[in-house]
Amino acid sequence: MAGKDQKDGATKATAEKLMHEAQEGRNPSDAEVQWVKETLAKALERAPERPIGAATGVNVDEDGQARFTTISGTPVRRLYTQADLPADFDENAEAGPESYLGLPGEPPYTRGIHATGYRGKLWTMRQFSGFASPEETNERYKYLLANGGGGLSVAFDLPTLMGCDSDDPLSEGEVGKCGVAIDSLEDMEILFSGIDLEKTTVSMTINSPASVLWAMYLVVAERQGADWKKISGTLQNDILKEYIAQKEFIYPPAPSMRLVIDTFEFGSKYVPRFNPISISGYHIREAGSTALQELAFTLYDGVEYVDWALRRGLKVDDFAPRLSFFFNAHNDFFEEIAKYRAARKIWYRVMTERFGAKEARSAWMRFHTQTAGVSLTAQQPMNNIARVALQAMAAVLGGTQSLHTDSFDEALALPTEEAARIALRTQQIIAYESGVAGVVDPLGGSYFVERQTLDMERGAFEYFEKLDRMGGMIQAIEKGFPQKEIAEASYRYQRAVEAGEKTIVGVNAFTVEEPPPQILYIDESVREAQTAKLRALRQRRSNDTVERALDALCRAAEKEPEAAENGIAAANTMPYLLDCVRAYATVGEICNALKRVMGTWEETSLT
């Protein structure tokens, strides 16, 4: 009898603790209160909870209770109910949940910017690809398009990303290794040989020398006979995230921002269907940020770009419809979906409330997604196929406009042709076999997803307030604020992995020994071939014409761009870059010319 009384007392104590948890900042329904007392307390007495995704038992709080968090470390409740949502979300309230959520294709766009979701048009299956020489990458592009790829996404090698030619001493050992080597217009012509640029959307992941590579692309399109007003695609061109995370910058922040706004101004007049920027959270997340930090810093970077464009004299509704975004799809399925849904709502509020945009498209959050390269493991690389599939599904359920799925071997090397095909087929299986494309925002109304979406929104605006107080993102970068936030988040996550609090299948749990798969190897022959092409190019071009074009570019870059109500400001660098490209000036020559005027940038230590 004493044993039964003791057990009943323990169950009552458990129920009291659970009731405190249930009522913390909430108003649970009578049914939930009854469930906690009668069902949950007894279940926990029989079988205490243990952490999911922990390799050891250390994922507990000071009271010995299991800690359940997202991959970003955000606590996760056991159960989400109506009590976790705002009052106007109640389906029985007079206004109904639409007053908070909106409907697909209508403000605040939480449920998507298109009324029919993917029923009218699937997301673009845009596989990121580029390796070795322009000739080899051109063959891979044709292969991807022939196998159902809907668009192209160019990966450039490190020398190109840093504005160096392949024969530059700084390029040694890196030519063609992490992307395609592009030194001049000649290479860009080879890269897109046989590909109709008026009919194929192309994304280019390039930042500090973005306007140079875009000029090359535009000249190739011009020589194909394409109409600039009809071509479409996306230039990454997000220099702020380079200072924050990826570190592939050349010039100081202010001159770099001037080049970005030059592309906004030029594109809005001459290339109106091309996105001059893809404001990128992807690399912020790859550097170790949380999902919330990725969301907040990316959208605030967008705020900074809009501020600079308005100071130039551009009208918000002239350029804002072509702003696009780029997000990561990481492993925590529901957290990622909530991030995308919150992003649309936040951007709508920012563009309408902060910047007074009138055109509906100015407030649309259009974004590309790439699965998380940082999540891929060199151990048991075939496991990465499952990781990528889950990440891609989250991106689709979150309403992405285009998607790249990583190849399973990317933790080891650039993808083989087979691995690239499997990655593309993953998207096609989701699109054509899973059924998820038939419903708009299928997780809308989920208590858990809606609560996470609200928390993402609130947390992002809290970061916005901090950044506003610092004077904007440029000042925050100079103070090292976003860099420090990301470094600390990355450190916390790595500590959790090493302590076994977070399980990485095949790395700190479920390990096996297996031989490595066959990988793609890029040797030094690429640098030799590119160097030979450069030597021949410099011999046959008019070097006097090149020098005159570079001098004119420098003179334009020295001038402060004037605010222009109409047309292109006199000092916009894009027309001068086009002249340099047409004269076959190389990437390195153009970037070195701009360095003489703009200078270079070295990051100060955070310590």
Give tens-digit pLDDT for 373-412: 999 999 999 999 999 999 999 999 999 999 999 999 999 9
Instruction: Give the range among 11-15, 28-32, 92-96, 262-266 with minimum mean pLDDT.
Output: 92-96
Interacting residues of 25 by C-beta distance below 8 A, sequence separation 6+: none
Please report the pLDDT score of residue 507 as a whole number: 92
Asked whether residue 441 is domain-assigned, the answer is: yes
Q: What is the CATH number of the domain that holds 486?
A: 3.20.20.240
Q: Are 12 and 134 found together in one domain?
A: no
**254 with 356, same domain?**
yes
pTM: 0.92
CA gap 380, 362 in Å, rounded = 44
Q: Where are the beta strands (DSSP E) in 237-353?
A: 274-275, 277-280, 323-329
How many other CB atoms are found less than 10 A from the CB of residue 462?
11
Q: How many CB atoms lie within 10 A of CB 466?
A: 14
- Return the structure tokens found at 53: 């995704």
pLDDT of residue 516: 77
Q: CA–CA separation, 235 vs 262, rounded Å?
A: 13
Q: List pLDDT tens digits, range 118-172.
A: 999 999 998 888 888 999 999 999 998 998 888 899 999 999 999 999 999 999 9
| Residue of 400, 395, 339 whose CA lies nearest to 372 | 395
* Residue 490: count of CB within 10 angstroms of its CB: 16
Same domain? 39 vs 126? no
Return the ∠ at Cα 275 (arms to 271 and 281), rounded to 5°: 160
**If you compute the radius of gyration of the chain from its CA atoms, what whole number of angstroms results?**
26
Distance CA 175, CA 186 (A): 17
pLDDT, residue 9, reads 52
- Domain identity same for 173 and 44: no
Residue 82 lies inside a defined structural domain of this protein = no
Beta strand pairing call for 274-275 and 277-280? unpaired
Task: Tell me, yes or no, whether 14 lies in a domain.
Answer: yes
Per-residue pLDDT tens digits for 3-49: 555 455 556 767 788 888 888 888 999 999 999 998 999 898 888 88
Q: From the DSSP assignment, how many helices (H) and strands (E) are in the chain?
A: 23, 9
Could you tell me if residue 110 is inside a domain? no
pLDDT at 64: 55
Rounded alpha-carbon distances, angstroms, from residue 310 to 256, 292, 304: 16, 27, 10
Instruction: Give ∠ CA 224-227-230 in degrees, rounded to 5.
Output: 120
> Degrees (nearest 5) of the Cα angle 419, 205, 523?
55
Model confidence pLDDT, tens digit, residues 488-506: 999 999 999 998 888 999 9
- pLDDT (tens digit per residue) in 540-571: 999 999 999 999 999 999 988 877 655 677 78
Q: Which residues contact 205 (CB under 8 A, 6 or more apart)?
A: 128, 153, 154, 155, 156, 179, 236
Q: What percent of the chain has a predicted confidence (pLDDT) above 90?
A: 77
Do 462 and 365 share a structural domain? yes
Report how far residue 518's alpha carbon sits from residue 137's, in angstroms, rounded to the nearest whole number. Answer: 19
Instruction: Please say whether the beta carbons of 304 and 278 come within 8 A.
Output: no
Banded pLDDT at 599 (limits 50, 70, 90) = very high
pLDDT at residue 56, rounded to an integer? 54
Of 451, 483, 498, which marks where a domain is finished? 498
Say if residue 301 is in the same domain as residue 390.
yes
- 228: amino acid identity, one letter: W
Give the per-residue pLDDT at 61: 61
Q: Choose the final residue of a domain: 450, 480, 498.
A: 498
Predicted local confidence at residue 52, as pLDDT: 66
Domain final residue pick, 474, 498, 522: 498
For residue 187, give Cα distances in angstroms to 217, 274, 308, 579: 10, 21, 33, 17
Q: What is the pLDDT of residue 127?
A: 84
Give the model confidence (pLDDT) of 428-487 as tens digits: 999 999 999 999 999 999 999 999 999 999 999 999 999 999 999 999 999 999 999 999
User: Which residues lie below 8 Å from residue 537, measured CB to CB, with a gap of 6+?
Assistant: 183, 184, 186, 584, 586
363 domain residue, yes or no:
yes
Q: Is 53 left (phi over 0), alpha (psi -120 to 50) or beta?
A: left
pLDDT in the model for residue 59: 59
Distances in Å between the Cα of 257 and the Cα atoms of 75, 261, 301, 516 are 38, 6, 11, 44
- State the pLDDT confidence band at 93, using cuts at 50, 70 and 90: low
234, pLDDT greater than 70 = yes
130 in the same domain as 22: no
299 domain residue, yes or no:
yes
Q: Same domain, yes or no, for 373 and 484?
A: yes
436 found inside a domain:
yes
Which residue range forms the structural domain that includes residue 27? 8-48
In the predicted model, what is the mean pLDDT of residues 274-299?
97
Least confident of 9-23, 89-103, 336-350, 580-594: 89-103
Give which of 248, 198, 253 is closest to 226, Cα–Cα: 198
The one-letter amino acid at 318: D
Residues 241 and 130 in one domain: yes
Q: Give, in order, the Cα–Cα distances in Å from 595 to each of 327, 441, 600.
A: 31, 47, 6
- pLDDT for the residue 25: 83
C-alpha span between 71 and 503 (Å, rounded): 10
* 282 within a domain of the structure (yes/no): yes
Distances (CA, A) of 546 to 183, 357, 394, 554, 583: 14, 42, 49, 12, 6
Number of domains comprising the chain = 2
